[in-house]
Every structure is written in structure tokens, then in C-alpha cells.
Amino acid sequence: ETCDAIAAGFRVSPKQVTLSDAFVVKYSMDSQTFLDFHRDGSLFSCIISLSAATDYDGGGTVFEDDTAYRPERGSGILFFGQRGHAGVEVTRGCRFILTLFFECDSFSTADLVDLLELVDF
């Protein structure tokens, strides 16, 4: 369904949108507690929460404009992979997320960067 949503939003064939990578990330006090600001190498990135919001304190995803998201279990966010973002520090408990990276045959990451520079993103 995510590939279909990306395809519809950008008016391309769903066959052109592909999942290029997927993995689970654990944030907890005994492992990685946060992730510094970065840009993904994908065209589109998706983060789905696998933990209930009550399972941890802190956490979530923050973008360079200070917009922050802390979705409940089963919910998530979809964004341009080149948009700067970070994993907010978990201060109690354990947070699991499913990270998905998507590509589209019609666009390259370089094309997107050029487009975003045009709109001063």
C-alpha cells in the first residue's frame, strides 16, 4: 500500500516504486538511545512505530525545522529521504521502529535534491 500511495502522490505507475531496504531499529538505554541528524540515501523513507507510546519516554523523529513526530504503534510517517531528520533520545524503556526505504524509476535522489533546491527546501 505504501508503494501505491507514493505512486499516486507523484503520478507515476506503482510498478516504478520499489522497496529498496527495510530493517528494524531498537532504541533503548542499553543500546542506541538516539540517532544524530542525517539524510537517508533513499528517495522516500518511511518510519513505522512498532512500540506503544507508553513503552518508552522521549523518542520519535524530529526534522530540521523542529517538526516532531511520535506515532503510536502501527502508525508512521513517510517523507523525502533527503529531508534532514534525527531519532530523538529515548530516556526510558525501549522503542522499536520499522524503517523502510523506497526508490522510484522515474526519479533519482539527485533529481529530488535539485527539485528541493528550486523550492528552497
Chain segment 23-48, per-residue pLDDT in tens: 999 999 999 999 999 999 998 899 99
* Mean pLDDT for all residues in the chain: 89
More confident call, 20 vs 113: 20
The enclosing H or E element of 3 equals helix 2-10
Given a cut of 90, whether residue 73 has pLDDT beyond it is yes
pLDDT of residue 6: 82
pLDDT of residue 121: 45
The enclosing H or E element of 118 equals helix 109-118
User: What number is the average pLDDT over the span 59-79?
Assistant: 96
121: closest CA among 61, 87, 80?
80
Helix (H, G, I), strand (E, B) or coil at 61: strand
User: 14: Cβ–Cβ under 8 A, 6 or more apart, which residues?
Assistant: 3, 4, 7
